[in-house]
Amino acid sequence: MFEAVGLAFNESKRSLLSSRLAGRIQKLGLESFEAYLAVLEDPAQAAEFQMAVDLLTTNETYFFREPKHYELLERELIARKSRAPLAVWSAASSFGDEAYSTAMMLADMQQKGQVGPDWSILATDISHRVLLSAKEAVYPQDRLRNVSPEQLRRHCLRGDGPAEGQVLIQDKLRSRVQFGQLNLAKDFTGLGPFDVVFLRNVLIYFDPPTKIEVVDRVLRTLRPGGLFFMGTAEGRVNCQTPISVIIPGAYRKAG
């Protein structure tokens, strides 16, 4: 896992691995974790390896998580007083909650004339499964508990009948978000430059040296003066790229 995708699990994560993988091992009819490891080491079982990555990296998420980050982003964009193109990257997008939350906010700001019409959001994740779900853009209503009633009316469709309790993001908002698979632990090229980057709640899976590499790699895609968001519980990473703290979990790239 570390060699392929940078995931680092120490002894304290033993119970996490056990609980996340036990059901899959049972479903495959395998007798032990050793037997499952043999499957994962088989080059012909790339799909199963991806399944294991999905099981080990999928976390609970919801719309407008860490609201203070969105409040800060809105203030910064208003203060920018520019209708220039705006590019945002959700670098560990999971099921798309973060990307669609940002799209809702930018669509509302565009309607008020606070940002121009030329804005885009790139959302990437290592998990193929969560990206497929994100593209479908159907969510349990509880995941949108931080979305205002006005935003729900503007940007979402509520399910009824068999789909009651589910919410679908409208096409006009979905079209603003491009999804793609990306391994942050490996070198990548061709992304950016971005004005805003979210890298939240993913660094917990990496060891300290990999964290620094990932943060610096991601920050290289951010414009000087751009905004960088991490999960507030993750703490600051000692990256090489100069950044300054604005509020907990929110930084500005020097430049």
Q: Are residues 188 and 72 in the same domain?
A: yes
Give residue 74's pLDDT. Answer: 98
Q: How far apart are CA 215 and CA 228, in angstroms?
A: 10
Query: Among this protein's residues, is 20 annotated catalytic?
Result: yes
Q: What tokens appear for 130 in the block?
A: 């969560």
Considering the domain boundaries, does residue 73 fall inside one?
yes
SS3 of 27-61: HCCCCCHHHHHHHHCCHHHHHHHHHHHHHHHCCCC
Q: Are residues 119 and 10 in the same domain?
A: no
Cα four-point dihedral sign 46, 51, 57, 58: positive
Q: Are residues 53 and 150 in the same domain?
A: no
Considering the domain boundaries, does residue 215 fall inside one?
yes
Give residue 172's pLDDT. Answer: 96
Are 120 and 178 spatial neighbours (Cβ–Cβ below 8 Å)?
yes
Number of compact structural domains in the chain: 2
Give residue 11's pLDDT. Answer: 85
Give residue 3's pLDDT. Answer: 81
> pTM (2 decimals)?
0.86
Q: Are residues 22 and 129 in the same domain?
A: no
Q: Which of 39, 57, 75 is the last residue of a domain?
A: 57
Cis peptide leading into 43, omega within 30 of 0?
no
Strand extents, DSSP E, the chain: 86-90, 119-125, 138-140, 156-158, 166-169, 177-181, 194-199, 222-230, 243-247, 250-253
Other CB atoms within 10 Å distance of the CB of residue 18: 11
Q: How far apart are CA 213 and CA 236, in angstroms?
A: 14
Low-confidence residues in the chain, pLDDT < 50: none
Dihedral (Cα; 216, 221, 226, 231), 10-degree rounding = -50
Query: Among this protein's residues, is 174 annotated catalytic?
Result: no
Considering the domain boundaries, does residue 198 fall inside one?
yes
Considering the domain boundaries, does residue 62 fall inside one?
no
Q: Are residues 72 and 164 in the same domain?
A: yes
C-alpha distances out from residue 72 to 76, 81, 107, 133, Å: 6, 15, 16, 28
Query: What values do phi and psi take at 242, rounded to 5?
Result: -70, 120
Give residue 6's pLDDT. Answer: 82
Give residue 113's pLDDT. Answer: 95
Considering the domain boundaries, does residue 44 fall inside one?
yes
Q: Are residues 77 and 20 in the same domain?
A: no
Q: How far apart are CA 22 and CA 33, in angstroms?
A: 8
- Domain span at residue 44? 2-57
Give residue 46's pLDDT. Answer: 84
The residue from 97, 125, 200, 217 that is catalytic is: 125
Give residue 16's pLDDT. Answer: 83
Can you list the alpha helix ranges (DSSP code H) found in 65-148? Answer: 67-80, 97-111, 128-136
Q: Which of 57, 75, 101 is the last residue of a domain?
A: 57
Q: Are residues 20 and 74 in the same domain?
A: no
Considering the domain boundaries, does residue 11 fall inside one?
yes
> Domain holding 102: CATH number?
3.40.50.150
Give residue 128's pLDDT. Answer: 87
